[in-house]
Amino acid sequence: MGSIQSFQSFKTVRDHWNIRFGESSGSVKLHWKENPNEWDYLFNQISYYAAPVWPKQFDKWRITNNSANYSLSYTVDNEGINWSLYNSKEEVIAFMYNEYSRDLRDWIVEYDAQKIDPALLLFGVFLSCKYSTKEK
């Protein structure tokens, strides 16, 4: 169905990821080598940029492309880890959570295919999985 592969230089952060989903593919790369938390994403000729709203605080992200702004936010409750992806009207367009309380191996992704581009959804899933772990 799909895969995510990471690439890194010797003794550096993981700075490049290849994503394949079905017949489509793309990549996620660090925007700046000096800042390992700003990302450029290209998937099916669609590009996005993501950065934390506040430096070194990973619970709220700003995602942009040439035509729209989105946000991705993280919460933890008794049920586990939850990520919500919002459009510019602050409407939830995707919701991601771990299936078993705080178990990062299985995720549920809920979304309306009429409201979200698959490229944006995959970028949201990438950021959610990456920034739910202790290794940032």
Average pLDDT over the chain, rounded to an integer: 87
- Other beta carbons less than 10 A from residue 58's beta carbon: 16
Helix or strand holding residue 121 (H, E): helix 118-130
Predicted local confidence at residue 134, as pLDDT: 61
The model's pTM is 0.86
Three-state secondary structure along the chain? CEEEEEEECCCCCEEEEEEEECCEEEEEEEEECCEEEEEEEEECCEEEEEEEEECCEEEEEEEECCCCEEEEEEEEECCEEEEEEECCCCCEEEEEEECCCCCCCCEEEEECCCCCCHHHHHHHHHHHHHCCCCCC
User: How many Å from the N-terminal Cα to the C-terminal Cα in the chain?
Assistant: 26
Q: Are 112 and 121 in contact (CB under 8 A)?
A: no
Predicted local confidence at residue 11, as pLDDT: 56
The amino acid occupying position 109 is V
Predicted local confidence at residue 14, as pLDDT: 66
Predicted local confidence at residue 135, as pLDDT: 57
What distance in Å separates the CA atoms of residue 120 and residue 9, rounded to the nearest whole number?
27
Q: What are the residue ranges in the chain where pLDDT is below 70?
A: 1-5, 7-14, 134-136
Predicted local confidence at residue 10, as pLDDT: 57
